[in-house]
Chains A and B, each alone.
Chain A
Amino acid sequence: MAFDSQESQTSSVGDYYESEEEEEDDYKYFEEEDLMEDSETFSKENSDPEWYEHSCMPSQEVWSIIKKEVCQLSQDLQVTDPIARLLLYSTKWDKSLAVSKFNGDKNQFFIDAHIHPSKPKRQPLEPCTECPICFSSDDANYQLYCGHSFCCDCWISYIISKLERGVSLGIECMDCDVLMGFEVIDTLLVKRSSVIRRYYQLALSQIVESHPLLRWCPGRDCDMVFAVKEPLPKRIQCTHCNLATCFQCGEEYHSPTDCESFKNWLLKCRDDSETAHYITSNTKDCPKCSSAIEKNGGCNHIRCTKCSFDFCWMCLSAWAKHNNEYYACSRYQADPDVMKAKVTKAREALKKYIFYFERWDNHHKSLLLEEETRFKIQTRIKEQVSNGEGTWIDWQYLLDAADLLRKCRYTLKYTYPRAYWMIGDKKHLFEYQQAQLELEIENLSWKVERATITDRADLERQMAVTEIRRVTLLRDFKHY
């Protein structure tokens, strides 16, 4: 059985939850500097708000997680593994839901899980050796649990036609809605190894996509899967391609912004016509949908390209109102406050967005530059070491500083979408802490760029202070 062959390549599930070495590194700043004397008494999560128990594994290892979950359920419910797997598939791998449904209306649960057919068989099939699909009697028929029986060739052609349409776990009987389990697939496809491989490949992606505690690494061509114990909008970092992702939404890691706000922020940024139009002086905002409109030529009858609203360039009211008497719009101009208020509101909204976008974009660019700085430092260390001035270990603190700088800059970048959507007193406090973090990051950046001539103790002090600011902000403004 394919399931078993997978298992032989993998280690036990317990290995996935290894200690987070990278996270350990971050603690030494606290310990060395005595800034948080009681840090050791804090649990990992308390001392590092970004700490998140997760593991990253090659996708094939998911099979042993699934196998373990299936085994547990089959033992608890005293059913076979194939049944347990279909039950879990129907509850999207929610074991406790499966147990409670099993203890409730068990018959209905088996129908919902497509283990029992939803409708009784239409007619009893005559006991003939002929396959009802191809009418051939050359080949032995294979009977599914529901009693429907077809020749193996027909079953195989059917499975292939389903795989071509991207269906795998959901393949039903050819004559009713009973699902074909792995053991059926394995039996029928025993001589078709390429088809079976395709089946399990599709099944695996479907399992990972539907399992609440698993997520594919979104890295390009990356085959790694993350496993967590609790789904949260926190950082998962791929051990293969290094990409940092938010477990909850699958976007780039975006703490301290929550998933919903971050999604809205990205949507806003993608629509950068807003930004471009701001620069052109000849724009106004559509009074209906607020998107920026550029005026071409002298005609004052404007149609919004986005919402098709027809309006007057001069007074911003609906064009229909001036159909016959164009200059009626001066009447509205006589009341400039109304018009001004309208325009100002839309303008202010745009200005606000530009403000946050510029900072977001600036830190994004700085982050790329910090990348270069790290590379330069590496080159410089290499020179120093080859000149006999110390060893790599002696200079390691410079690389640590560059790494910390990138980490802090990353967090700072993602504070801007959060601030953009914030309101009230909370926003003031947030922006105060944000400004403090920004200040320390610029200090650190200055010192890292001049690292080889900066005093080591001074640099390390700066590192500690900056990291404290970052962690404090993350802890004070949890986004979940």
Chain B
Amino acid sequence: MASLHITRVKREFREVVSSEEAQKSQIKIEIIDESDLTKLKGTVIGPPDTPFEGGTYILDIRIPDTYPFNPPKVKFVTKIWHPNISSVTGAICLDILKDQWAAAMTLRTVLLSIQALLQAAEPDDPQDAVVAKQYKGDPELYRKTAKHWAQTYAGAPKTTDDAEISAKIDTLLQMGITETKAREALSTHSWNLEAAVDSLFT
């Protein structure tokens, strides 16, 4: 008999594939290697009326051998600007992936909860302090930044003109900074070019 965590993954994989949400291509789960079912690739589509709308977010899912008694380890592979997700590592701060996990939950529950997190952030329990501060202090700037990241990294449709943003990034590129670093520095410093330069060169 196969061990419990593998039996569960097989069953849950079928559950996600046949789910209503998968039919509407809102969530997806893929097996990377048939011989190793402990590593999976998840996909969540950015929900409507959010800065992430239309973006495709890839998740790295690891199943511990104590699954489902312990939660799966999930992180974002696609870069994202969100208070509960690290803009650097992709680590997610979500209660059900920690102490609120219950063995009766499934990968489908996890993917839907992550999608719900994109819909409603919880800035009081932040993973990324900088993003959380911006979210609370300057929501308009937060939306703008998050949207820019969604268009850049998650392939969200371009709906706004980012000429100003592009110009600032270009300035940093000419100073020899990589594009990722430039975007991170500018986002962190509220798109203030001077402050971003200071942070990069001190």
The stretch of B4-12, B34-42, B123-131, B175-183 that contacts the partner chain: B4-12
Interface string of A283-297 (1 = CB under 8 A from B): 000000000000000
Whether a CB of chain A sits under 8 angstroms from the CB of B69 is yes
Within the complex, the shortest CB–CB distance from A61 to chain B, in Å, comes to 33
Residues of A within 8 A of B103 (CB): 133, 150, 154, 158, 174-175
B66 in contact (CB, < 8 A): yes
Chain B's interface size range is 10 to 19
**Chain B residues with Cβ under 8 A from A480's Cβ?**
none
B89 to chain A, nearest CB (A): 23
Q: How many A-B residue pairs have CB under 8 A?
A: 35
- Encoded as 1 (CB less than 8 Å from any B CB) or 0, chain A from 127 to 155 comes to 00000111100000000000010100010
Q: How far is the CA of A122 from the CA of B158 in the complex (A)?
A: 40
CB-CB < 8 A to A161: which residues of B? 66, 69-70
Q: Is A176 an interface residue (CB 8 A)?
A: yes
Q: Interface SS of chain B: helix, strand, loop or mixed? A: loop
Q: Mark A165-193, 1 if CB is under 8 A from B, else 0.
A: 00000000011100000000000000000
Query: Does A78 touch B at the CB level, under 8 Å?
Result: no
Shortest CB-to-CB span from A154 to chain B, Å, is 7
What distance in Å separates the Cβ of B107 from its nearest Cβ neighbour in chain A?
A: 14
Tell me whether A135 and B102 are in contact (CB under 8 A). no
Which residues of chain A have C-beta atoms less than 8 A from B167's C-beta? none
Asked if residues A134 and B4 are in contact (CB atoms below 8 Å), the reply is: yes
Q: B102 contacts A176, CB within 8 Å?
A: yes
Chain A: residues with Cβ within 8 Å of the partner, total of: 15
Chain A residues within an 8 Å CB radius of B7: 134-135
- Pairwise interchain contact A157-B4, C-beta atoms closer than 8 A: yes
Q: Assess the A174–B66 pair: CB atoms within 8 A.
A: no
A65 to B16, CA, bound (A): 51
- Quick check: B104 and A132 within 8 Å, CB to CB? yes
**B68 in the interface (beta carbon within 8 A):** yes
Among candidates A132, A148, A158, residue contacting B69 with C-beta atoms closer than 8 Å: A158
Cβ contacts under 8 Å, B104 to chain A: 132-133, 148, 150, 174-175
Partner of B8, one of A134, A150, A162, A175: A134
A162 to B102, CA, bound (A): 12
Cα-based distance from A206 to B108 in the complex (angstroms) = 36
Q: Is the CB of B102 within 8 A of A175?
A: yes
The contact of A174 among B4, B8, B11, B102, by CB within 8 Å, is B102
B4's nearest neighbour on chain A, judged by CB, is A134
Q: Which of A134, A148, A150, A158 has the most CB of B within 10 A?
A: A134
Residues on A lying within 8 angstroms of B by beta carbon are 132-135, 148, 150, 154, 157-158, 161-162, 164, 174-176
